Structure 1
């Protein structure tokens, strides 16, 4: 055995020993999770026991990153713990999570990022169906897009919050990287048409104009559907991400073609439960008010007076008579905070309608 082989053997033996310890601790954690489930069922009842606690998971992930000393990056360690928690939660109660399908979309990628790969991700044909599936109890949670850093708010999602009585239980942000995907051995000069969702075309507009000015743009219901079509048609390409590439066995012709390199989409987790305070939370509300002078000031002034920071405000037609408008507002703080309760109380007394969408932990990953 050479000197190098001897040195490597020592290190590999250390790795084997560490792996044994990790394996032992993982099984101990899983056993503890099973006992947690038993306690919840004993005291809460099997039918109504709450197994997924968004605030608890957010606190655990934050502590993981705070105590991390490297060399692994904070978020990489947190992703590992996310999968550990996902596996352990599945031992307590498997989660079924609805998302806008088909399989291979960025929304499914967001669902897996938030809940881990041990959750069952269920594709739906529309955002309406995602909301219906959760409200009916056929899915424990749903994942829906709410805004993109390039294209702004997902207005259809906002409108659905008015129709359905669901709570926002969490949020996450996902870096969106678009690739130009093709069949194996496809030459760039042979591409005559490109499939993509309309928002992806918008996010890659300048790049497409510069590189494929004469290719036909065909809008489809999702990037995953575009990838499926491109996998069957010669001379076509699709704009999609890594999941769709793997699912439909396509190759990357050009990587990261989005016009904005920091292109990010924010997603919301919808469910039917109220979420406790994590210590770093957001609250979202919907308000409708008549169109009259000073209405926006009257709605926003209580936030300023009580020192609450707004993180998002969006205006939508309320769809009612009298030129009413609907305001979607995100702000820092939890509904259990006394100053948040004061603001909501003042707003309820002055607005036509106020709907609390939920308080939830800020995105950790």
Structure 2
């Protein structure tokens, strides 16, 4: 290779980097002004719909060859660092560190936010409810294993709102100290992770014992002290505890996603592509299921999901959780919810927020 030509290319890169740095600082100065304006208007400094609009606009404008996912990741960190200039952001999440909830929180808030692990889903709600954290991140649904009931139950007594959702592709790695399959006598992980990899384990490690623990991150920590054990955990957990990859992506179903909710105190404004979540209970009587769905059908409102849970206070009575397309500030949505309320013993709007998909 021509060394002079290579040197000229590197000098061009340096010059471009200098321009990028200058533009980042120009952007930061504008962000500081935005923060002052928001403080004067007492507006929320974190607006998920605004972030989504930024990502969508930049990805649409990107002509390459820089990859779309690279654009999202770079600007995720730019926005994260910019928000920290306005006000240091504290985010509680279901811990410990290196769990998939932690990964989801980093994906949403970037590395400049202060991410604080909590021992339980109620603890995340409490941190946000008492104002010790600005936001919280909790799992709500897995595409293979279904709903996280504990998260839904928390909304019964909480005034917190869903302000956005995160969709994270779940990829399970088999990790150990040596990185050798022949050393493995037992496999440690969270019960859901073990269930999602059961077929692979039966085929490749039929004689290994399976051990349930509280989280995939805890599994990685345990395996770091046991040369005959392997953990099913995230790539981040392996890096944190110095483990080697035995096999990547061992989940039986490659189409494996977990949906997380970001909880906060205020409902964000409309983004133009929103979802509203409700919880309600109805009196058991003939035709009630038809009547509670009719207000949405009449207005052509799409229902994304409906779940039912036994009501803890009364035997054989149920509470329903409903996701629908639209924002509570949309007249059609507000009217449909008003009509639904006529049949409800209890109705609560959990939030209107930007849709991921």
**TM-score (normalised: structure 1):** 0.95
Question: Does residue 93 in structure 1 map to residue 87 in structure 2?
Answer: yes
Question: Does residue 122 in structure 1 map to residue 93 in structure 2?
Answer: no
Q: 2 CA distance for matches of 1:13 and 1:187?
A: 44
Question: Alpha-carbon deviation of 1:211?
Answer: 1.2
* Structure 2 equivalent of residue 9 of structure 1: 7
Question: Does residue 103 in structure 1 map to residue 101 in structure 2?
Answer: no
Q: 2 CA distance for matches of 1:296 and 1:80?
A: 47
Q: 1 CA distance for matches of 2:283 and 2:199?
A: 40
Question: Alpha-carbon deviation of 1:322?
Answer: 6.0
SS at 2:155 equivalent: helix
Higher mean alpha-carbon deviation, 250-259 vs 54-63, is at 54-63
Higher mean alpha-carbon deviation, 35-44 vs 99-108, is at 35-44
Q: 2 CA distance for matches of 1:186 and 1:90?
A: 39
Please list the CA deviations of residues 279-330 of structure 1 after superposition, one character each: whole Å capped at 9, or x if unmatched. 1111111111133332222121211111111111111112233632111111
Question: Does residue 142 in structure 1 map to residue 136 in structure 2?
Answer: yes
* Structure 1 equivalent of residue 149 of structure 2: 155
Question: Alpha-carbon deviation of 1:186?
Answer: 5.0
Please list the CA deviations of residues 207-226 of structure 1 after superposition, one character each: whole Å capped at 9, or x if unmatched. 11111122111111100001
* Structure 2 equivalent of residue 325 of structure 1: 318
SS at 1:213 equivalent: coil
Q: 2 CA distance for matches of 1:227 and 1:159?
A: 29
Q: Which runs of 5+ in 1 are unaligned?
A: none
Equivalent position to 1:239, from 221, 232, 235: 232
SS at 1:69 equivalent: coil
Q: 1 CA distance for matches of 2:48 and 2:180?
A: 47
Kept in 1, the 8 Å contact 2:165–2:260? The answer is: yes
* Structure 1 equivalent of residue 26 of structure 2: 28
Q: 2 CA distance for matches of 1:41 and 1:302?
A: 40
Question: Does residue 83 in structure 1 map to residue 77 in structure 2?
Answer: yes
Please list the CA deviations of residues 3-37 of structure 1 after superposition, one character each: whole Å capped at 9, or x if unmatched. x3233233222212211111110000111111112
1:173-322 equivalences in 2 (<5 Å) = 173-183=167-177, 185=178, 187-321=180-314
Q: 2 CA distance for matches of 1:234 and 1:106?
A: 24
Q: 1 CA distance for matches of 2:77 and 2:259?
A: 21
Q: 1 CA distance for matches of 2:90 and 2:323?
A: 27
Question: Does residue 334 in structure 1 map to residue 327 in structure 2?
Answer: yes
> C-alpha root-mean-square deviation of aligned residues, in Å?
1.4
Q: 2 CA distance for matches of 1:170 and 1:212?
A: 40
SS at 2:271 equivalent: coil
**TM-score (normalised: structure 2):** 0.97
Q: 2 CA distance for matches of 1:16 and 1:189?
A: 48
Q: Which runs of 5+ in 2 are unaligned?
A: none
Q: How many residues align?
A: 357
SS at 1:200 equivalent: helix
